Structure 1
Amino acid sequence: MGSHGDEYSSASSVKNPTIKFTKLFINGEFVDSVSGKTFETIDPRTGEVIARIAEGDKEDIDFAVKAARHAFDHGPWPRLSGSERGRIMMKFADLLEEHAEELAALDTIDAGKLFSVGKAVDIPHAISCLRYYAGAADKVHGKVLKMSRELHGYTLLEPIGVVGHIIPWNFPTVLLFVKVSPALAAGCTMVVKPAEQTPLSALYYAHLAKLAGIPDGVLNVVTGFGPTAGAAVSSHMDIDAVSFTGSPEVGRKVMQAAAESNLKVVSLELGGKSPLIIFDDADLDMAAELAILGILFNKGEACVASSRVYVQEGIYDELVKKLVEKAKAWVVGDPFDPKVQQGPQVDRKQFERILSYIEHGKREGATLLTGGKPMAQNGYYIEPTIFADVKEEMLIAKDEIFGPVMALAKLKTIEEAIKKANSTRYGLAAGIVTKDLNVANTVSRSVRAGTIWINCYFAFDIDCPFGGYKMSGFGRDYGLEALHKYLQVKSVVTPLYNTPWL
């Protein structure tokens, strides 16, 4: 390991990566949009334009779907053995590894993500995703059935077809590969619509996919806006399944479009308002660390951010003091600097949205303990913000803010903790901090959320299914459950020799 100075010098050398790919990637080629239109992608550190990107819309989605459909119906990808698909996916992962620094830098200038975290966490996670599902590609098989009559039956697992992936902007690399990897392993072809805020890395991944040997038409990337390109994916008659991560409002539109077109299979991850419940017996230092990390990691732009923190009254005052100290010491600044812990919010719209929620919190009577203002510098930086005395009916307790804003409240009993944790329309994740196994088990079984972390937070693993309850959506990413989202079950039945089958 080098010194911090060495790391910063290395980071400085990629602060302005060359933008190599700005066109749509359809059928193995980079092409202009049909309309010829482009849009600006902005550096949130400065508000300045990085590059102009091809703006795809319905016609471009049509071309991409046509390429994906031809690749599925007539191309080699679904017909390759699972081991051969896995071999190509492994090569794809190796190429990500070779270009990790450049890829991390693209997400830093496009999304404001910490370069050090991108290089150490996001890119390696994407590589692990590819390798995990590459290893699963040759293990997709059905079952021989024990039929109740004189029949021989078995099931086949077959790729679902052409898949549309709509990717959000907060984890542009991780969430692309969380969706693309199992779909590739299953033998599907696909159209990827990255977020308009963060198109750069997705286009680079399309280039690397071709270098790895993924056949033309299997992985297409159409950059553009949600109401045009995204809507065209959701409503397309020749897309068989769509996977979307984003807001509940847009998730509803995706479902509606899927229902009104060809009843395509839909999986949705729609964010959360995740509670972190800290009981009196908790290790104070660990609890404070988890609470701060839970809301400030990735500048609060995380679907599972622990934005509601409930603390039992016996340790409340002492813990609040520690949280405020940590928030004030949190380093906000240039995401290429390894000493920095929080970069800028993704764009001006999100920056202003977060600030408006902070104003709501003040007006509704929550106590602002620290932060609450934009930083006095260029770009979309916001101070780490903590509100206390937050009531359940306040907007900052109900809505997913997607920023560095913590809502604190005091608890008395376990029953109150469970009730407050469940008093949300969301149900994506929750955290519990306690040394009492009975408390941990009781609360984890009672909180309605897809993932419960006990004495940890952000403890993701590729083998551990992830998804939501309630308005946080349905369907699971990670694990073999994700692979099965992209497979159809076909039953095959034949009568046994000379046996009547009616």
Structure 2
Amino acid sequence: MNGKNYIAGSWVEAVGGARFESRNPARFDQVLGAVALSNREDAEQAVAAAKTAFPYWRGLSRVKRGEYLDRFVEAIKAQTDEITRLVASEAGKAYNEAKADVVEGIHMAQYMFGHARLSSGQVVPSEIAEKDAYMFRKPKGVVAVISPWNFPFAIPIWLITPALLEGNTVVFKPSGNTPLVGEKIVECFERAELPPGVLNLVHGTGEDAGWPMVTHPDVEVVLFTGSYDVGSRIKEACVKDYRKMYACEMGGKNAMIICQDADLDLAVRAAILSAFKTTGQRCTSASRLLVHESRMEEFAAAFVAMARRIVIGDPLDPQVFMGPLISESAMKKVDFYNLLAKQEGAQVLLDGGRLEEGAHRQGYFFSPFIYRMAHRKDARVLHEEVFGPHVALIPFRTLEEAVTIHNDVEYGLACSVFTEDYRIARRLREECEFGVGYWNLPTIGAEVHLPFGGLKKSGTGVPASWPLLDLVTHKVAWTVGYSHEIKMAQGLSADV
């Protein structure tokens, strides 16, 4: 594939003519495509195109804007298998997961299309009988969307479609690890005949292409999903500009809590899904399994036994459960934390690591690493996000202790509780700090019509679904007086 930027309705090379390669992490000798490597000038051109297109786009009715999303969905459906294979090849996700990524993108676009004919405001009662009061939303302007590689199809659509529906225009920078999937999204919008400049695409690195978008004075909103380090910089930059709003989703150190009365068969299967889907490279992956001490031995034995049976390999093989890590740097990071766990006193139950035999030699394949460790504040592996198949089993005695352990991290994204007692589930729901919670389910599997966001280092709480409609707009109050006299609220005199 020949990846280009998309600016003002045209596919163009980067201003400097530079390019970079996108490779298959399961076969790193396979080049999937060469892609435009952009700089500040490219980003500025894209923002200028979006700003120029804004007056026309916001002037369309919300229903007409929604119809473009409907055509966008039809464009995706016409090539679902092709897109799925591209997601699997470029992101290293098992085929079933890659298809779910595409379907999730379809669902979000459909959900936003459905909102096109729903109310975008309210009639609000006034205390004055001769007044009518209204609330409605206005689009903010140019929205920058910076998305990650691990959900390269769904997450951009989470962010782009609410922005477009409400009348904003968008500049989109996909991850440098999955640029071709990002390009495919824009191709589908082009097939939907989206007007020029309404959606613009800039490929490249965060520093050279993304950061100029974040700091550009004509960008009103920044929507970001990625690491805390980058997200915190974006938040700081936006706070310094009185015009900018932002939503940042920045990872997690998520936990499953397996209580004394848990159905262990159910809990073990859910733990495998939570820990090892996408090779542990999800912001909602559970890297901490809090297990009641009376069930620890039984749970640990079953969990390790099931983890040993996981099939690791080419994502396009339908038998594969776990594909590769995304890059060499990701492998080095996971390897570092595996070694650190041993240094910090972990009891290793399954010593995973780099797979280098046979077909695994061609990719960034890593097997599960599982260990047992009592909770400690000074254990880095129990507090820092690893983003790989690295899992700690942590015993607890009481619900109070489980809550304390769960909350004793700087993140607060996903939580799962396994118990047959609704009172216990309710207590943990109320006292644990999280944004996305589950009862007797894995920590993965969010649906598009539900809010998705976290607390603390995990983010600002509104990176997707209907709450994002408020972030990319500003609410306007409009009050109409029908009397021939001025009548004021709160008993304020109108006498002059």
- Cα pair 2:247 2:463 within 8 Å, conserved: no
- Residue of structure 2 in register with 1:459 after alignment: 445
**Over residues 301-345 of structure 1, what are the superposed CA-to-partner deviations in whole Å (9 max), with x where a residue is unaligned?**
000111110100111101100011011111111111000100111
1:264-279 equivalence runs, <5 A: 264-279=244-259
Q: 1:68 aligns with which of 32, 35, 50?
A: 50
- Cα pair 2:256 2:286 within 8 Å, conserved: yes
Give the distance between the partners of 1:116 and 1:466, measured in 2 at CA.
22
Farther off after superposition, 153-162 or 171-180: 153-162
- Cα pair 1:273 1:426 within 8 Å, conserved: yes
Cα distance, 1:195 vs structure 2: 0.7
Q: 1:224 aligns with which of 197, 200, 204?
A: 204
1:320-399 equivalence runs, <5 A: 320-376=300-356, 377-392=361-376, 393-399=378-384
- Cα pair 1:281 1:434 within 8 Å, conserved: yes
Q: 1:259 aligns with which of 239, 263, 266?
A: 239
1:166-205 equivalence runs, <5 A: 166-205=146-185
Cα distance, 1:475 vs structure 2: 3.4
SS in 1 for 2:217: coil
User: Do residues 404 (structure 1) and 389 (structure 2) align?
Assistant: yes
- Cα pair 2:346 2:372 within 8 Å, conserved: yes
- Cα pair 2:435 2:461 within 8 Å, conserved: no
- Residue of structure 2 in register with 1:468 after alignment: 454
- Residue of structure 2 in register with 1:158 after alignment: 138
- Equivalent residue letter for 2:174: P
- Cα pair 1:157 1:489 within 8 Å, conserved: yes
- Equivalent residue letter for 1:498: H
- Residue of structure 1 in register with 2:469 after alignment: 483
**Over residues 107-136 of structure 1, what are the superposed CA-to-partner deviations in whole Å (9 max), with x where a residue is unaligned?**
2221111123212x1111111110110010
Q: What is the count of residue pairs matched by the alignment?
A: 480
Cα distance, 1:262 vs structure 2: 4.7
SS in 1 for 2:17: coil
SS in 2 for 1:287: helix
- Equivalent residue letter for 2:475: V
SS in 2 for 1:325: helix
After TM superposition, the score normalised by the length of structure 2 is 0.94
- Residue of structure 2 in register with 1:139 after alignment: 118
Cα distance, 1:188 vs structure 2: 1.3
**Over residues 143-172 of structure 1, what are the superposed CA-to-partner deviations in whole Å (9 max), with x where a residue is unaligned?**
223233464432221122110011011111
Give the distance between the partners of 1:109 and 1:359, measured in 2 at CA.
29
- Cα pair 2:248 2:463 within 8 Å, conserved: no
- Cα pair 2:17 2:37 within 8 Å, conserved: yes
SS in 2 for 1:240: strand
- Cα pair 2:412 2:435 within 8 Å, conserved: yes
- Residue of structure 2 in register with 1:9 after alignment: none
SS in 1 for 2:426: helix
**Over residues 86-109 of structure 1, what are the superposed CA-to-partner deviations in whole Å (9 max), with x where a residue is unaligned?**
222111111111111111111222
Cα distance, 1:494 vs structure 2: 3.6
**Over residues 159-209 of structure 1, what are the superposed CA-to-partner deviations in whole Å (9 max), with x where a residue is unaligned?**
221100110111111111111121122121100111111100111111110
- Residue of structure 2 in register with 1:426 after alignment: 411
SS in 1 for 2:412: coil
User: Do residues 128 (structure 1) and 110 (structure 2) align?
Assistant: no
Q: 1:446 aligns with which of 419, 423, 431?
A: 431
Cα distance, 1:391 vs structure 2: 3.2
- Cα pair 1:81 1:138 within 8 Å, conserved: no
Cα distance, 1:389 vs structure 2: 1.7
Give the distance between the partners of 1:446 and 1:474, measured in 2 at CA.
19
SS in 2 for 1:449: coil
- Residue of structure 2 in register with 1:44 after alignment: 25
- Equivalent residue letter for 1:475: G
- Equivalent residue letter for 1:66: A
- Residue of structure 2 in register with 1:58 after alignment: 40
SS in 1 for 2:286: coil
- Residue of structure 1 in register with 2:260 after alignment: 280
Give the distance between the partners of 1:123 and 1:326, measured in 2 at CA.
28
Give the distance between the partners of 1:71 and 1:265, measured in 2 at CA.
20
Give the distance between the partners of 2:299 and 2:66, measured in 1 at CA.
48
- Cα pair 1:475 1:485 within 8 Å, conserved: no
Give the distance between the partners of 1:27 and 1:426, measured in 2 at CA.
39
SS in 2 for 1:314: helix
Give the distance between the partners of 2:88 and 2:310, measured in 1 at CA.
19
Give the distance between the partners of 1:57 and 1:200, measured in 2 at CA.
18
Cα distance, 1:42 vs structure 2: 2.0
- Cα pair 1:140 1:157 within 8 Å, conserved: no
Q: 2:3 aligns with which of 22, 32, 38?
A: 22
Give the distance between the partners of 1:27 and 1:347, measured in 2 at CA.
33
Question: What root-mean-square deviation, in Å, do the aligned CA atoms of Structure 1 and Structure 2 show?
Answer: 1.4
Cα distance, 1:259 vs structure 2: 2.6
SS in 1 for 2:429: helix
Give the distance between the partners of 1:395 and 1:313, measured in 2 at CA.
22
Q: 1:35 aligns with which of 16, 30, 34?
A: 16
Give the distance between the partners of 1:330 and 1:180, measured in 2 at CA.
35
**Over residues 263-319 of structure 1, what are the superposed CA-to-partner deviations in whole Å (9 max), with x where a residue is unaligned?**
400111111101100011111111101111101011000001111101001111011
- Equivalent residue letter for 2:32: I
Give the distance between the partners of 2:96 and 2:416, measured in 1 at CA.
26
Give the distance between the partners of 1:160 and 1:271, measured in 2 at CA.
27
- Residue of structure 2 in register with 1:436 after alignment: 421
Give the distance between the partners of 1:421 and 1:202, measured in 2 at CA.
35
After TM superposition, the score normalised by the length of structure 1 is 0.93
**Over residues 393-444 of structure 1, what are the superposed CA-to-partner deviations in whole Å (9 max), with x where a residue is unaligned?**
3121111100011111111111100010000110011010000111000011
- Cα pair 2:369 2:389 within 8 Å, conserved: yes
Give the distance between the partners of 1:475 and 1:79, measured in 2 at CA.
30
- Cα pair 1:82 1:139 within 8 Å, conserved: no
